[in-house]
Amino acid sequence: MPLIGDDRKMAYWKQRTVSRRVSCTGVGLHSGAPVNLTLAPAPADAGITFVRMDLGVEIPARHDLVVDTRLSTSIAAGAARVSTIEHVMSALLGMGIDNCRVEVDGPEIPIMDGSAAPFVCLVNEAGAREQRAGKRFVLITAPVEVREGDKLARLEPADGFSVKFTADFEHPLITDQGFEVTVNDRTFEREVARARTFCFRKDVEHMQSMGLALGGSLENAIVLEEFSIMNPEGLRFPDEFARHKVLDAIGDLALLGLPVLGALTAVKSGHALNQALVKRVLSDPTCHRVVQASEETASDRARAPVGLAAAGQQTI
């Protein structure tokens, strides 16, 4: 559906997939079991699809297949489930990959180091290949928001994709911590991808007593005690917590099925509220529409900088 003549600034370039198959191995955060993950090329307009190789089931990364947002984001097709998809989703969207098969041989994406950096490394190792079709987006045309108590997730029209997150936990290290970024592959890799997930020691002990977070360790999460962190290496960024919440929000918004052109403002949001925003957007045709770069225009822009920030640099 080529869209030409809009008076908005638009991104015009081609869809991308990974150039070849690339793999890594890690453990599932909750099961503690080893998992092999492979990123594989996918055709234009295929989007992101998770594949349970052990079951032979494909699960498209779509909002209507989300079945759980309590500790991480999980999707399922029938009895086949994949959990903790948000970090690899964030890496694919952040690195401008539109189409990819994410093959796993177990029910969880490997947690790796708790960040998206290992998946960014995989994308870089494979390289990105441009495809013939113009890139498609969900263009936000009017403000849309969801609230729950003092939590907020709001999208507004913008030229590119930006995220502004305010994290505020009852902990001295995460009080009113904000981070803001205009997302493209360079800023994602440099500013966002390396931020690790975090948890509180008391919650870890509770989860492990229930048989969860069995793969969790100081190797794949920042663990907070009452006034400090337990990780001997310290933080990767002073505001690593807020940056990780940005990473999660990017991965959650990727379940729109397409990259978004809009400005996200989030306050104390999490997977559940982020998914509520995704559903609100897609259920309200007055706040968004799907747009696609035409093949000719995408071709013209083939040498344009790759990444969502380029959206702000191209005017029709």
Q: Which residues bind Zn ion (CB under 5 A)?
A: 197, 248
Q: Which is nearer to Zn ion, 231 or 299 (CB)?
A: 231
Q: Cβ 87 to Zn ion, closest distance in Å?
A: 6
Residue type (1 letter), 91:
A
Q: Which is nearer to Zn ion, 76 or 89 (CB)?
A: 89
Q: Are 75 and 53 in contact (CB under 8 A)?
A: no
Residue type (1 letter), 192:
V
Known catalytic residue: 63? Answer: no
Beta bridge partners of 77: 80
- Map residue 77 onto helix, strand or coil: strand
DSSP for 50-91 reads EEETTTTEEEE--GGGEEE-SSS-EEEETTEEEB--HHHHHH
Q: Which is nearer to Zn ion, 42 or 111 (CB)?
A: 111
The burial class, CB within 10 Å (0-12 / 13-18 / 19+), for 78 is exposed
Residues 6+ apart with CB under 8 A from 192: 90, 94, 116, 181, 183, 243, 246, 247, 250
CA separation for the pair 205, 31 (Å, rounded):
15
Q: Which is nearer to Zn ion, 73 or 99 (CB)?
A: 73
Q: Cβ 251 to Zn ion, closest distance in Å?
A: 7
Q: Which is nearer to Zn ion, 99 or 220 (CB)?
A: 220
Q: Considering the candidates 30, 244, 271, 288, report the single residue annotated as catalytic.
A: 271
Beta bridge partners of 48: 100
Q: Cβ 243 to Zn ion, closest distance in Å?
A: 11
Q: Which is nearer to Zn ion, 104 or 195 (CB)?
A: 195
Q: Are 123 and 151 in contact (CB under 8 A)?
A: no
Q: 194: number of CA atoms within 13 Å, CB side? A: 10
Q: Cβ 109 to Zn ion, closest distance in Å?
A: 11
Q: Name the token pair of 170.
A: 């009852």
Residue type (1 letter), 309:
A
Between helix 271-283 and helix 240-253 the angle, nearest 10°, is 30
Q: Cβ 285 to Zn ion, closest distance in Å?
A: 30
Q: Cβ 270 to Zn ion, closest distance in Å?
A: 9
Active site residues: 271
